[in-house]
Amino acid sequence: MTGTRYLVHGVFWDGQPAPGRGHDGGAPVMRLQSPSGDFLQLSLQPGARLGFQIVEQFRSCLGHLRVQSSVRRDHILCSTGAPAARGKQCERCFMLDESRLIHDFHRGGRVPPGLLDYLMQEHWLYVATFAGGSTKVGTASGPRKWNRLAEQGAVVARYVARAQDGRVVRILEDLVTAEAGLTQQVRSAAKTEALLQPLGEAELDALNAGHAGSVRGLLARTAVEGFTVADEQWIRPEQTSTLYSPAARHAYPHPLDNGRHGFDIAALSGTNALARLDGTDAAFVVNLGHLAARTIVLGDFASPVPAVQESLF
Ligand SMILES: [Zn+2]
């Protein structure tokens, strides 16, 4: 196999928040790790071409995070380059990963100083609704308040509380799950499937507004201290409108654990792209999240149009 072998770390949406409707905000990228340990950012903006071949059957460890402060986290690459035993990490990196500790902090868990600095900054509680109507409650740190929801692929979202730190926000999150019944996780596969037949935006907005209103009512009555109730709409990236429009589209027909793939990106929602394959007007929803921890070589490839295409229409 010729060509540089890259380890895929995933899809990230960094940069400035969208300043208003009609704007994208930031820029989505697929982050690749080169053999020397440098990172390459592949643009996933509408119009970008993505061509790659998967060159390993197994997933490799992506290393672990060490949180240095509220604004700085270091990504420590895996020293052994081991196959991933637990999702996207080897056993050692899973144990060393500090982001794991975040979820126990509000239950009295101990954390290192850098992570404590991160957790003690302002956090936001949000209610996010996805293309199929699934709704979740979640948290975001102040600096990544907008980006977190872009990376999740929310269609409509509202911030419902501004908390003084990451401990209070997770107490509120658990309270909302217990009292309002909102889940803290919407499965990745459900998000992808929902994009094949998204509900209308007005319907999703009404759903989200209803849940957000209930949560605000709940928060107004709680004895928990250290937060204020908020009522602020998240502005989604404008280019995602292409993905949420009620047009015919299909599930991407090829598994992303092997083979050669190539397509144009028409839009991106979270890790899900609307892909245009060469030689057809049909649009396909492909979950680029499946590429995380895979080893790829970039190239000028084109995904075959499925032979069963006629029956899809
Ligand atoms: Zn590792």
pLDDT digits (tens, 9 = 90+) for 166-222: 999 999 999 999 999 999 999 999 999 999 999 999 999 999 999 999 999 999 999
Partners of residue 53 on adjacent β-strands: 260, 297
Distance 271 CA to ligand 1 centre (A): 23
Distance 290 CA to ligand 1 centre (A): 19
How big is the chain, counted in residues?
313
- For 102-120, write each residue's pLDDT tens digit: 888 888 888 899 999 999 9
How far is residue 218's CA from residue 214's CA, in Å, rounded to a whole number? 6
Q: Are 33 and 20 in contact (CB under 8 A)?
A: no
HSE-CB for 200 with a 13 A CA cutoff:
3
Task: Flag whether pLDDT at 61 surpasses 70.
Answer: yes
pLDDT of residue 226: 98
Q: Are 165 and 226 in contact (CB under 8 A)?
A: yes
Distance 77 CA to ligand 1 centre (A): 7
Q: What is the mean pLDDT of the chain?
A: 93
| pLDDT band (50, 70, 90) for residue 294 | very high
| pLDDT band (50, 70, 90) for residue 25 | confident
Beta strands across the sheet bearing 227-233: 135-141, 123-129, 156-163, 227-233
Distance 165 CA to ligand 1 centre (A): 30
* Pair of tokens at residue 282: 């049909």
Find all residues with CB under 8 Å of 143, minimum gap 6, and list them.
Answer: 70, 71, 121
Distance 187 CA to ligand 1 centre (A): 25
Task: Flag whether pLDDT at 135 surpasses 90.
Answer: yes
309-to-87, 157, 305 alpha-carbon distances in Å: 33, 35, 7
Distance 35 CA to ligand 1 centre (A): 15
Distance 288 CA to ligand 1 centre (A): 22
pLDDT of residue 82: 84
Task: Flag whether pLDDT at 303 surpasses 70.
Answer: yes
| Residues with C-beta atoms within 5 A of ion ligand 1 | 61, 78, 90, 93
Distance 193 CA to ligand 1 centre (A): 31
Share of the chain above pLDDT 70, in %: 97
